Structure 1
Amino acid sequence: MVQNYVAYVDEAGDEGFGKLGAATRTAQSKWFAIGAMIVSESENRDLPSWRDSIMSDFPKKKSRDLHFRELKHDQRVHVCTILAGKPAGACIVASNKITLLTHPKRDVFKQKQHLYNYMTRFLLERLTSACKKKASLEHNDTAHLTIVFSRRRGTDYQVMRQYLELMRDGRELFRPVRSIDWSVLDPADIAVENHSKRAGLQLADVYTSAIWTALEPNEFDFCEPRYGKTLTPRLLKHMGQRLDCGLTLIPPFGKTPLSKEQEEFIQYVRTFKEKKGVGPQNPDPHR
């Protein structure tokens, strides 16, 4: 029997890099992240109850939708702590847009949706690999992945499907080192939903925004790594390593400029290991 998985995809930050400068409210973000929460078919049915349980802890909030950016610091810590104990995997791809200012293909990345599609490819490569590995090792079976994107203004998802089909059919000019596992994902199995309609998208927002906040300087030029550190146990890993699997930097670690604060967070993710007998009660089934 095929093992079915669902990945909910959301983003944090923006794609633009024409107005990168001092960290202010009017500048474009220095980092852009696309992230996913991935669950098995059975766990997918539990996501509304996860979200509702979290929102019940915030009785004064008028909206019952979960938006990370609308939470206060202590509420963010609380939500991340709860999700760190849930049986879900997380995968985030983060682009340091400062490096695009001098990139030889700068004009290409300035084209509408190009950076988004480029990073989505990295994300899907890692998600399909994790699904195939889990289904094979734990169930001696094949895997199938459904992707649900959070609808965002200005994104043409038909163009994205065509981009994925081009890769699937081997019509690229340059073949990548890695590739999406097309035995796991069919471009037709991509859905687009509004954030408010799916609990999974609201939870994916937490994972993605938590990691992004650890990398993106605020208006006072410092980052907040606590949320990302709390959720680090949920990041997918390959051969014991979360960096370049659960969290992928573009350019990669060692080639992308990082502040001392950002590097400390990345080193935390890179060297994180669970202690025996310590950690979430529900082990991550996607590692």
Structure 2
Amino acid sequence: MADLKRFIAYVDEAGDEGFGKLGSDEPTAQSQWFSIGACIVSEDNNRLIVSWRDEIMSAFKNKNNRDLHFRDLKHDQRVHACATIAKKPIGACIVSSAKKTLLEASERDVFKKKQHLYNYLTRLLLERITDACSKRAAAIGEQAHLRVLFSRRKGTDYEQMRDYLRFLRDGREKLQPIRSIDWSVLDPEDIAVENHKVRAGLQVADLFTSAVWKALEPNGYGRCEDRYAREIASRLLKSDGNALNYGFTLIPPYSKCPLNAEQRSFVDWLIDRARH
């Protein structure tokens, strides 16, 4: 039996699942994009993640604060945080949904159900992460094993999440999926949940996920900010050198996604990086 190469994925989200007042400029409007992302580390490097978080925070005035939260950082602090974490041996994987396209889909009523979009994007995320872990372990003649830790969010039922994953694992879907989670790598029982502020890994996952979300979500002036995502792009998981649809996945796919000029510029830049 092959030795185990152990990995840990920390998962967080950016944006929201809501569809009310989608795309309006009202303060109560929901985000146009919803992203779920993860940072992935080997078990050996997991013991270093606290020091990576502290290295980022040490440059800020409030050095005693050990809760790194992207939304609380100023622009220059976000750039520094992303540039710092991009130098570490860590992987990132983000799945981002353009929610307004779901309103036009035949399954729109399904996606409006509580937690459905969250579960669906998590599935896509885990498909890619388990594949990457499996390949990484196989390259050194080992079998991959993955643990997943979610950042606790209000209103999310994580036992329902496990039930959904068991449903997929047991092959009870009516239609055969194009991809699937590698169940030799992940057991649904190896999923846990923790508060953001007590786990440095969850804070780093927030950094990656929010950086990419900012490249897609228009602000109050209709502009997107891709500087953060460009800083962390080197850490995105890649398949044959390409991060698109692996470390960074758009829903719907790039060819069908209604991107504005700024969003498309970022994705085109990401694609071009793979060619050089």
TM-score range, shorter chain: over 0.9
Name the CA distance, whole Å, in 2 between partners of 1:252 and 1:59: 41
Q: What SS does the corresponding residue of 1:111 show, helix, strand or coil?
A: coil
Q: CA deviation at 1:95?
A: 0.2
Q: How many residues align?
A: 274
CA deviations on 1:100-138 (whole Å, 9 max, x unpaired) are 12111111000000000000000000000000000001x
Partner of 1:189: 190
Q: CA deviation at 1:61?
A: 6.1
CA deviations on 1:186-213 (whole Å, 9 max, x unpaired) are 0000010000110000000000000000
Corresponding letter in the other structure for 1:154: G
Question: In percent, how many aligned pairs have the same letter?
Answer: 61
Q: Is the 8 A contact 2:20 2:29 kept in 1?
A: no
Name the CA distance, whole Å, in 2 between partners of 1:22 and 1:158: 34
Q: What SS does the corresponding residue of 1:180 show, helix, strand or coil?
A: coil
Q: CA deviation at 1:64?
A: 2.3
Partner of 1:258: 259
Partner of 1:16: 18
Partner of 2:85: 83
Name the CA distance, whole Å, in 2 between partners of 1:38 and 1:259: 30
Name the CA distance, whole Å, in 2 between partners of 1:271 and 1:145: 31
Quickly say closer, same or farther: Cα 1:62–1:49, change in 2 above 3 A: closer
Is 1:73 the counterpart of 2:75 in the alignment? Answer: yes
Q: What SS does the corresponding residue of 1:76 show, helix, strand or coil?
A: helix
Partner of 1:122: 124
Q: What SS does the corresponding residue of 2:135 show, helix, strand or coil?
A: helix
Q: Is the 8 A contact 2:169 2:183 kept in 1?
A: yes
Name the CA distance, whole Å, in 1 between partners of 2:25 and 2:95: 21
Q: Of the candidates 27, 34, 51, which is equivalent to residue 49 of structure 1? A: 51
Q: Is the 8 A contact 1:147 1:191 kept in 2?
A: yes
Q: Give TM-score scaled by structure 2 length.
A: 0.97
Q: Is the 8 A contact 1:34 1:119 kept in 2?
A: yes
Q: CA deviation at 1:21?
A: 2.6
Partner of 1:285: none
Q: Is the 8 A contact 2:23 2:31 kept in 1?
A: no
Name the CA distance, whole Å, in 2 between partners of 1:199 and 1:274: 34
Name the CA distance, whole Å, in 2 between partners of 1:87 and 1:182: 25
Q: What SS does the corresponding residue of 2:189 show, helix, strand or coil?
A: coil
CA deviations on 1:239-263 (whole Å, 9 max, x unpaired) are 1111000000000001010000000
- Stretches of 4+ moved more than 3 A in 1? none
Q: What SS does the corresponding residue of 2:71 show, helix, strand or coil?
A: helix
Aligned pairs for 1:59-70 (under 5 A) are 59-60=61-62, 63-70=65-72
Partner of 2:107: 105
Q: CA deviation at 1:63?
A: 3.4
Q: CA deviation at 1:68?
A: 0.2
Name the CA distance, whole Å, in 2 between partners of 1:243 and 1:272: 10
Corresponding letter in the other structure for 1:121: R
Q: What SS does the corresponding residue of 1:272 show, helix, strand or coil?
A: helix
Name the CA distance, whole Å, in 2 between partners of 1:25 and 1:82: 33
Q: Give TM-score scaled by structure 1 length.
A: 0.93
